[in-house]
Amino acid sequence: MKRHLKPGLYVALLLCLSVNGKPLRAELPGTVPNDQAEVELEHYLLELSCEPTDQKAVTASLRTALALREDGSTVTVFIESGAVLVADPSLEIHSIDARREIDALFDKVRRAGVAVLVCPHCADQLAIGEKSMRAGLRFTDKEELEAERERAHKIYQIRPTEKPAADAEPVAGCKPG
């Protein structure tokens, strides 16, 4: 007569076995071992230094931060250069519709837990004070930024688009301008 162990007993038996005095670990297919239960999530850094009037770059950056945050990864946005103008919601550098969209995206980013850091030197040059910045944004320092760069698994840099020189030869098949 054959005897069959119930699945629960079989797993318990395997977990109790040991080899050379060390417990033999057995995992069922598709399960995660206990020491790997907390998988390290990735950390992303988005460095935003595009022109503040480049609405597509600003909104795409904020949407990217939200998308990266969806899986629980940590995300930090660093705003520098002329882009710091978007940190002050009272500045009218975009159309009314664009300002509404950017305001809503900054609010979503803040609620999603994305850290948004602002370069204090760039803000100072453009006369943007801490009190005039959007909710959830804060100034950073060199040490914190370097730590963010060290910690980041991936860094995305959103830079100003380069326009060809006025006397540059046009590329075949492209319209100038």
- 75 vs 39, more confident: 75
- Name beta bridge partners: 18: 23
Q: Domain limits at 73? A: 43-158
CATH number at residue 144: 3.40.1260.10
- Name beta bridge partners: 22: 19
User: Quick check: is 9 in a domain?
Assistant: no
Q: What are the pLDDT digits (tens) for 121-161?
A: 999 999 999 999 999 999 999 999 999 999 999 999 998 87
Q: What are the pLDDT digits (tens) for 13-48?
A: 344 444 444 444 444 445 455 444 455 689 999 999
Backbone angles phi, psi at 47, to 5 degrees: -100, 110
pLDDT at 2 over 50: no
Number of domains present in the structure of the chain = 1
The whole-number pLDDT of residue 147 equals 96
Residues 60/92, Cβ–Cβ less than 8 Å = no
Q: What is the pTM of this model?
A: 0.69
- How many C-beta atoms lie closer than 10 Å to residue 43's C-beta? 17
User: Quick check: is 8 in a domain?
Assistant: no
Residue 133's Cβ-count burial label (10 Å; 0-12, 13-18, 19+) is buried
Residue 83's Cβ-count burial label (10 Å; 0-12, 13-18, 19+) is buried
Confidence category of residue 10, pLDDT binned at 50, 70, 90? very low
